[in-house]
Structure 1
Amino acid sequence: MEIFLIGGGRAARAAHEPFVRACGNGPIVAYALDDDELDIARWETTLKDAGAAEVTVVPVSPTRPPRPADLTDAAGVYVAGGLTPAYRDILVDAGTDWLDAARANDLPYCGFSAGSAIAAEQALVGGWQTLYGNQTLDVCDSDLAEDLDHLTVLPGLGLVPFIVDIHAAQWGTLYRLTHAVLATGREGWAIDENTVLTLSPNTTPTIHGPGAATHVRRTGPSSTTVTVFTA
């Protein structure tokens, strides 16, 4: 199963093109949060601008989570952006039978922003403060906290073993990811907007797009290594 993790952004054609190619120009099913900001045309246009011939946007909510039948005849599955905790509640806690169907059919998965964050085994869903030693630290701007105060890591879809943070350069979330890595001991990737981190079985992760993906690994109780990768 190929995995494509996009860090967000409005000019993300180059980041979407590898996913569309992996789908063989077949039908793509895109899950988008059914809330006041739902913009079906945005996701259709984004994927078609990258070369997709057929896109079906399926609005999802607590009362209408994803279903395996949504993916009948699909060539790929896409999870759009929005409020990350809400996406995780609907796509993970409400049941992952849809993901089992995607895996059984070896469908490429592409996450955009929230869809990238929840792809992890342990999903960083938001927060702007964390307890470090005996001190509460700000790890990003409170406006970028996804309606959460404390840095929050919860079970995700389990598609990748590392933690993912998004809008890295644009929102300054690399520092937040660093504290998530220190707290959990897991590796992490912070992905810039308009940039995709691509993972295929038995291959090295690759980067596409104008930005970077930054790898963070814990080397001690209070230390990490940070490595920047570009296309």
Structure 2
Amino acid sequence: MSIHLVGGGPDTTPAGAVAPFRAELPGRPRVGVALAGSPVVGRCWLPAYARVVGGDCVLLPLRPGRPFDVRGLAGLDALVVGGGRTPRYLDGLAGAAGPVGELVRAGLPYLGFSAGAMVTPVDALAGGWRQQGRAVCPEEWSEGLEELTTRPGLGLLPFPVDVHTAQAGTLGRTVAVVPADRAVAVGIDEGTCLSLPVDAADPDAGAVSGTGAVWTARGGDGGPLVSRRTAD
């Protein structure tokens, strides 16, 4: 099984972009969709995710300050984590990295949209638009944070993930978050999915599907080098 990371929300994602995820599901899947915010808001958004994901989608509300009840994953065929403010998702999933990681490594398919993609690493990029006071991306994509901020994520990948790359101009942030010479970070366009083995050390180990590109920033002697991949 793989983890599947999408660079935008369901409104910008064609169903074909998540075909690798859907290929891992049984014929009539029961899919848990974790959405931050109140259950009322979650129920409003659930149909949009169901249209892209398919199957019988079940809402799993994420509420800051309330531990995520992983018992709600019992009997599900896959886990989808939706989009929105990344810090809210990190708050809602706090403490869930261990049990979620065990399930995913045991074969539970994982699909993250936008924030749901950003929360997957060990050290997740929570947001920010400045590095040491210098702008690295547009302020409106800061997630409400000033300086680049990382927080503990789900621990499914060892490198940072950023999203809305071409559409929001966040490539500068992806480059800025590369922490050292041999390190790597990845940015994903809207409408695009990166499918990777769990714990993959290199984004290039994954396959790209959808309409956009995946951008990889690697640390080098002269500074980060950026490469771009699209679907085959």
TM range (shorter): 0.7 to 0.9
Q: Which amino acid aligns with 2:219?
A: R
- Find the counterpart in structure 2 of residue 176 from structure 1: 173
CA RMSD of the aligned region, Å? Answer: 2.3
Distance in 1, Cα, partners of 2:188 & 2:208: 10
List gaps (5 residues or longer) in structure 2. none
Q: Deviations over 1:141-191 (max 9, x none)?
A: 111100100011122111111110000001111101101004696311100
- Find the counterpart in structure 2 of residue 139 from structure 1: 136
Distance in 1, Cα, partners of 2:40 & 2:20: 27
How does the TM-score come out when normalised to structure 2? 0.87
- Answer whether contact 2:193 2:210 (CA < 8 A) is retained: yes
User: Would the alpha carbon gap of residues 97 and 159 (structure 1) be closer, same or farther in structure 2, given more than 3 Å must change?
Assistant: closer
- Find the counterpart in structure 2 of residue 4 from structure 1: 4
User: Would the alpha carbon gap of residues 72 and 105 (structure 1) be closer, same or farther in structure 2, given more than 3 Å must change?
Assistant: farther
- Find the counterpart in structure 2 of residue 190 from structure 1: 187
- Answer whether contact 2:36 2:42 (CA < 8 A) is retained: no
Matches within 5 A, 1:28-47: 28-35=31-38, 38-47=41-50
- Identity fraction in percent: 32
How does the TM-score come out when normalised to structure 1? 0.88
Distance in 2, Cα, partners of 1:97 & 1:38: 27
CA drift of 1:31 comes to 0.4
- Find the counterpart in structure 2 of residue 86 from structure 1: 88
Q: Deviations over 1:170-229 (max 9, x none)?
A: 111110110100469631110000100001368931001000001110003x51111100
- Find the counterpart in structure 2 of residue 77 from structure 1: 79
Distance in 1, Cα, partners of 2:165 & 2:173: 10
- Find the counterpart in structure 2 of residue 118 from structure 1: 119
CA drift of 1:35 comes to 4.5
1:153 alignment partner, one of 147, 150, 154: 150
User: Would the alpha carbon gap of residues 205 and 95 (structure 1) be closer, same or farther in structure 2, given more than 3 Å must change?
Assistant: closer
Distance in 2, Cα, partners of 1:172 & 1:37: 32
List gaps (5 residues or longer) in structure 1. none
CA drift of 1:23 comes to 1.9
1:15 alignment partner, one of 14, 17, 29: 17
Give the paired residue count.
224
- Find the counterpart in structure 1 of residue 219 from structure 2: 218
Distance in 1, Cα, partners of 2:107 & 2:8: 24
